Structure 1
């Protein structure tokens, strides 16, 4: 039963993604420009670090290879989240505007449906950019490539949990969507800068408030020096945030259903 249901949702996700991409291809030039700009911006940020580390070999022991590895894992995971579940970043806005009604009328899981209903096209450009960064992150071997893909997927899943948690706060605090967006920007900024240079306060924030450490730094550490202990911590953090995300969303959805925002838009 579970496998049948999972297969059904995977197939539905695939069909929705195809429709999204086909719709974007109606404006082919726009489609290409979005992907090209996504790749260009990501590579431009990385080139800034290449120029920096060309003049300074390391910062507190942090090198270009460290930066490349952290960014490649984080950006690939981020891109997967944006492509597959891009709609989740619009949750708080939809809550504010009372636009969840459409999804509540559907027979499928509301969180899943709302998440997969949107595809961020520019993130298709982030994927090749992350491969370029990975090239600079050390030797390319089959084992490292497999580890890169697996850890990037976990990174993306942690990022998704973070988005569900921050966006679901919109159920409890009205007009929270600008704050949710800024928290996502803060995550991006924390990933971009060398973790070794952070103060103790900033390290605490990057672990327990805006978890860039678990999304980017810890996966990179596992790749550099594999440890079952670190892998266990990473998986445990994903599981804890997954449960928290589901609880926040489901409790908030119950309040939304019984509130005055619900209007059937047919």
Structure 2
């Protein structure tokens, strides 16, 4: 597995932290040359914030000009693009009643239109690749209703539909398009949300306990799924949504698993 992506190039949006950074590191460990497009990819002095051998490229997925320049820079420095991981995204809270339309526009501008901008800019390079692959970051919220998250769930539902539509549009060009749908992931982003709660420890326990397997997903588990989808073993896989959710979509525990026989426990 360590060299399965040798000779390939990859661009990861939101690659300076969390799932994006874990993915970039894993892609590089498997042989790919990787650039991380992120608002925080460079420090105040213009030095990369991502560790070597990763390449840091400043970019704002909510801005057309910034995206075009960042993708072009990444492709030039990498010598082309074989893999795009559309990971950059933001959270939005509120119901359809409590969330203002400005918030809806902000979330969709990053979570949906941001992927469209980056994909558009990357497609000319992907078309030149014999191993072209795109993975979009979706969410459990695309398929399961989450309270007080109508805007976020809606944006990720759009990502799910966008993924299958892109897969249909670009299959004849040899470009595979898939997505991953994680449950809550233990990232700095989630930790900041938990830390803002009145009782952070109780909030973290509640979020973790909501999962059938009793814990949050790790960034590395999501990265492993992404690396599979972009790798040669998934050469006939396109238009799919790969859950990384601890059983949230497919497992219903009717009782405390600690009460089950040991051989039956997850």
TM-score by length of 1: 0.34
Higher helix share: 1
Larger RCO (CA under 8 A, 6+ residues apart): 1
